[in-house]
Structure formats: structure tokens, C-alpha cells
Chain A
Amino acid sequence: MPYEEKVPPLPRGDLAIEAVDVRKHYKDRTALSGFNLRVRAGTVCGLLGPNGAGKTTAVRIMSTLTRADGGAVSVAGCDLRTDPTRVRYRIGLVGQYASVDEVLSGRQNLVMFGKLYHLPAAEARNRADELLERFDLTEAADTPASEYSGGMRRRLDLAAGLLLSPQVLFLDEPTTGLDPRSRIEVWESIRGLVGSGTTVLLTTQDLEEADQLADTIALIDAGRVVAEGTPDELKAAVGPDRVETVTRKPSLDEVFLHLTGQPAADRTTEDRR
């Protein structure tokens, strides 16, 4: 069998992602300058940071799309540099860069990508049907993806990222541009995945999303992780000098502002609360 049949989830507590001193320099700018990250199996890590902080580069490197200039990354127990192919069998990528073929129908997309993961043809078809059902796309299975609504497209993207039941799933802004209902549906799907042992690395501009989903948060600024911890730990770290002015725990927005000196995304704190 040319693919790894049903790779079980990594044992909880193992490191699903370990990035050590990763550096990436482009012609005119440094994207990552000593990026370190450790994510435990079966957890959701939210990677937050202002635009240009290096989130995208970090995800691209960890998902084998871009090569790092230096440092070491291991994902799902495999070294990225020596064994990128095995990593590719064990990860799923959902987000702005990885998309589906708009001309093909949802089913055709999933069957095609399943075959490219080297599932036998019959199994690719079964898996496609299973995922269409799970993401409530059975009715639209034979409609071209270009005619899908935003929420349906996102669910199809998610399904395509789950064809091989990946050990590690990279979710890049999974709910950007979705209406609240679709957003909650996607969140539910993600929680379900994590419940079954998948490790998720989530990048988002939406701090409520991070608060909802993430077990740990890594704040990235100027190409490196500047703070790491559970949402509560991070809030506590900023807590003391906030208690007097706001009679509540600081929000992640405020953590963000405190640590990076910049507001999250393009929104101000006032807009969000």
C-alpha cells in the first residue's frame, strides 16, 4: 500500500509540532528570526500576531510549502527537512493558500485529492461520500464548487484537509468572511476533530475564535514567538496592571496590545467589546 493506512492520532502529551530557532529571510525582509514553538498532540494552538509578524511564513514552513533558511522543525514526529513526504501524509492544510478546484464538483474534488493521497479509487470515493455527509454537503455534492456559498466552500476546504485523517491540521483563518452561523458550525467541526485526537494549529485574526478554540496561544511578533501559554495564563500575565481600570479580566485583545504594542488585526479594542 503506497500510503500509511490509518495513521493513529499521536499519543496525547507527545509533541505534535516542534519548531526550534526557525529562520526565514526574504530578499528585502526577515520573516522569521528564531521562531520557536511546541504544540502538544491533541491540543489546539492558536498562533496570533499582527499582519506581517510572520504567521503565514511560519505556517507555510511547518506545512512543507516553504523551506526554512535555518532551524529545525518536526511535525507529527517527522523531520521536515529529511522527510517532507511523510509529513505531507500526516498533515492537512486548510486556509487561504490551499484551495479546491472550482470547476469540479465537491465530490469530484474530494475523490481527486483522495487519489492524490494514494487512497485506492474505491476508498477515495467512500471517503469522499463520508466527508460530504459529515460536512452537510451531500445535497451539493455534484454541484461545481464555484456555485457554493462561502460557508459551503469552507466546509469543502475542511473536508479536503481531512481526507487522510491527519495527525496535525493547519487551519489558516478558517472562519474569515463567514456569517456567525457558519462560523459556529466550523468551530463545532474543529472541536469534534480535536476530540478525536487531531492536533490543530490555528492562525486567526479573530481573538474570540482563539479564545473559543485554543488550548494554548502563541503570540508572534517580528518573526518570533513573544509569549506562549493558555489564554488564562496570558491574561493573568497582563492582569495586575489592568485590574484597577477594568473590572474584568483583560481580553486577549489587550494581551495582544500589551505584548506587541499593536492592536490585533485591523480592529481596535473598542470595536470588539
Chain B
Amino acid sequence: MTATAPTTAPRPTRPATGLRDAATLTGRVLTHWRHRPASIFLNLMFPVLMVLMFGYLFGGAMTVPDGRYMDFLIPGMFAMTMLFGLESLVVAVTTDNAKGVTERVRAMPVAATAVLAGRSTADLLNAVVGLAVMVATGLLVGWRADRGLPLALAGLGLLLWLRFAFTWIGIYLGLLLKTPESAVAVQILVWPVGFLSSAFVSPGTMPAWLGAIGAWNPLSATATAIRGLFGDPDWNAQHWAAEHALVLAIVWPAVLTAIFLPLAVRRYRALED
């Protein structure tokens, strides 16, 4: 071949370039928020609505052994909010694919890891905002983190750690499903995953086999762990998973991330048809 030799070699794999690309793509999602405030607002309000529904409509019929149902519910809803974020993430990833944005970026000198890191960071920022709204909601309905600021922050950290893991599941599913229409399946599936946990009631109150699944749900681990950190009431579930919730709340997201982060990167690199 007789092309002119380039004087400067492109180095998109340099870490600094990758970070800048990730930041550019994160910024893109933030710009989306500015352009579509209404849909962001609705997404943020949905878990708030659920707190009001479950807390005030169903809450009267719920008895938690040592406290108010609302104080049991709020940490559960924090965990649920982390899960609900998955839907909009999957929709966003599939939309990029359907609209050809993913393809354009794939034909550009941008590393797969930078693209996905940008998406993941944007989603985490989204989760921080969502969590802030939920904490404000909790405070308004009388929930308090009774064991001090450090443990409260640790609890919020565990929630974001869970969301970080969910993010990679979401990105992987989005790349796998490809069309926004099929993302509807995810929107439906988050419900059983969310409810089959300790978010709303103790798995101990469910039929034994169902309760066992619920107790092992990563969402339950985080919900139970943060109830401990916030000093909120809980059913005293006689289950190994419930007794070791704090450990599981750290380990579960690590395991999920270890599985789905490489899967997502591989899937992105293999996007072909």
C-alpha cells in the first residue's frame, strides 16, 4: 500500500483518551436530561408514588414487629429504586442501537470500555439523583436514619454499589435485546424480581419455597443490610441470608458485576448485525 505515513499515531487506547471519551458520553446523557425534563421528572416521581401507595394505602394493614411499616418500607423502596433504574437504562441502550448512534460510535476510534463506562457513569448519576429524591421523600414521611451519618452514608453507598451491578446487567440486556420494543420485557420482569424480595414484606411471610428465593434475592440483601445501618425495623427473619445481609450486600453486587461487566464489553465488541 502506498499511503502517506501518518506523522502522529492515534492512541485512543491511552487511558486519558478513554476517560475523556467516557466523560463525553456521560455528558451526552446529561444533555438528554436537559432536553427531556418531563420524562426525567416522571421517572423520579414513580417510586415516590409507590411510597405513598404502599405506605398509606396498604401500610395500615401491615404490622412490623418492632416499628412503623413506613420505616420498614422506605429502605425497601430505596433498593427498589435502584432496580427500577434498569428499565430506562435498557430502553436508552436499545434506542441508541435502533437509531444507529451505536453504529456510528463503533465506526469511530472510541474504545468499547470507554463507551460502556460513559453509559455506566451516567446511570450512576441518575441513581444518585433518584436516591436523593427518595431520601427527601422518606424524610418528609417521617423516616430517619437513626444510627448517625457515617452509617447512613454507608447504607447509601451499598445502594449505589447494587445499582452499579444492575447497570451492567442493564447494559448487557440492552445490547442483547437491540430494539426498544423488546425492552418492554425487562420493564415487566423487574416487577417480580422487585416484589420477590424483602423490599415490601419479609420473605418469612411468604410460602417457604418462595420465601427462600426472596431471601436470597440480592435486592433483599441490600434492603435488609441498610435497614440495619439506618436503624430501621425489620421482621426477624430466621434465614442465613438475612442474618448475613451486610456481607451479601457487598458480595452479591461484586459477583453480578464480575459476570455482567465482561459480558457487556464482549457483547459490545461482538455487535455485528
Taking beta carbons and an 8 Å cutoff, which residues of A are in contact with B? 1-5, 7-8, 10-11, 14-15, 18, 26, 60, 63-67, 74, 76-79, 85-86, 88-89, 91, 93, 96-104, 108, 112-113, 115-118, 144, 160
Interfacial chain A residues near B28, Cβ < 8 Å = 101, 104, 112
* 8 Å CB contact of A117 from B1, B2, B109: B109
Contact residues of B: prevailing secondary structure: loop
Contact residues of A: prevailing secondary structure: loop
Nearest-neighbor residue (CB-CB) of A117 within chain B:
B108
**Do the beta carbons of A100 and B104 come within 8 Å of each other?**
yes
A193 to B199, CA, bound (A): 60
**Do the beta carbons of B8 and A15 come within 8 Å of each other?**
no
Interfacial chain A residues near B6, Cβ < 8 Å = 4, 7, 86
**Do the beta carbons of A118 and B17 come within 8 Å of each other?**
yes
- Write 18 A-B pairs (CB below 8 A) sorted by A numbering: A2-B12, A4-B6, A4-B7, A7-B6, A65-B103, A77-B2, A85-B13, A86-B10, A89-B109, A93-B107, A98-B103, A99-B100, A100-B104, A103-B31, A112-B28, A113-B108, A116-B24, A116-B25
Interfacial chain A residues near B105, Cβ < 8 Å = 116
Q: Is B57 an interface residue (CB 8 A)?
A: no
Q: A11-B4, A26-B273, A99-B100 are in contact. Are A116 and B108 (CB under 8 A)?
A: yes
Nearest-neighbor residue (CB-CB) of B11 within chain A:
A2
A7 to B110, CA, bound (A): 18
Give min CB distance, A259 to chain B, whole Å.
Answer: 27
Question: Which residues of B from 155 to 179 have beta carbons under 8 Å from A?
Answer: none
Give min CB distance, A109 to chain B, whole Å.
Answer: 9
**Do the beta carbons of A65 and B106 come within 8 Å of each other?**
yes
**Do the beta carbons of A77 and B104 come within 8 Å of each other?**
no
Nearest-neighbor residue (CB-CB) of B33 within chain A:
A103
Encoded as 1 (CB less than 8 Å from any A CB) or 0, chain B from 88 to 125 comes to: 00000000000111011111111000000000000000
Interfacial chain B residues near A5, Cβ < 8 Å = 7-8
Question: Which residues of B from 1 to 40 have beta carbons under 8 Å from A?
Answer: 1-4, 6-14, 16-17, 20-21, 24-25, 27-28, 31-32, 35-36
**Do the beta carbons of A88 and B107 come within 8 Å of each other?**
yes
Q: A89-B10, A97-B103 are in contact. Are A10 and B24 (CB under 8 A)?
A: no
Interfacial chain B residues near A11, Cβ < 8 Å = 2, 4
**Do the beta carbons of B109 and A63 come within 8 Å of each other?**
no
**Do the beta carbons of A116 and B110 come within 8 Å of each other?**
yes
Q: A96-B100, A104-B28, A112-B24 are in contact. Are A1 and B3 (CB under 8 A)?
A: no
Q: Which 7 A-B pairs have the closest CB atoms?
A: A77-B3, A99-B100, A98-B104, A97-B103, A88-B109, A115-B24, A93-B107
Q: A89-B109, A98-B107 are in contact. Are A77 and B4 (CB under 8 A)?
A: yes
Interfacial chain B residues near A112, Cβ < 8 Å = 24, 27-28
**Do the beta carbons of B2 and A93 come within 8 Å of each other?**
no
A91 to B109, CA, bound (A): 10
**Do the beta carbons of A116 and B4 come within 8 Å of each other?**
no
Nearest-neighbor residue (CB-CB) of B32 within chain A:
A103
**Do the beta carbons of A2 and B4 come within 8 Å of each other?**
no
Give min CB distance, A54 to chain B, whole Å.
Answer: 13
**Do the beta carbons of B273 and A66 come within 8 Å of each other?**
yes
Question: Which residues of B from 54 to 104 have beta carbons under 8 Å from A?
Answer: 99-101, 103-104
Give min CB distance, A157 to chain B, whole Å.
Answer: 9
A85 to B106, CA, bound (A): 10
A64 to B7, CA, bound (A): 22
Interfacial chain B residues near A103, Cβ < 8 Å = 31-32, 35-36
**Do the beta carbons of A18 and B1 come within 8 Å of each other?**
yes
A126 to B104, CA, bound (A): 21
A162 to B27, CA, bound (A): 22
A65 to B108, CA, bound (A): 10
Q: A96-B100, A104-B31 are in contact. Are A63 and B107 (CB under 8 A)?
A: yes
**Do the beta carbons of B107 and A64 come within 8 Å of each other?**
yes
* 8 Å CB contact of A2 from B17, B99, B101, B108: B17
**Do the beta carbons of B103 and A99 come within 8 Å of each other?**
yes
Interfacial chain B residues near A74, Cβ < 8 Å = 1
Give min CB distance, A166 to chain B, whole Å.
Answer: 11
A96 to B109, CA, bound (A): 20
Q: A76-B3, A91-B107, A112-B28 are in contact. Are A100 and B272 (CB under 8 A)?
A: no
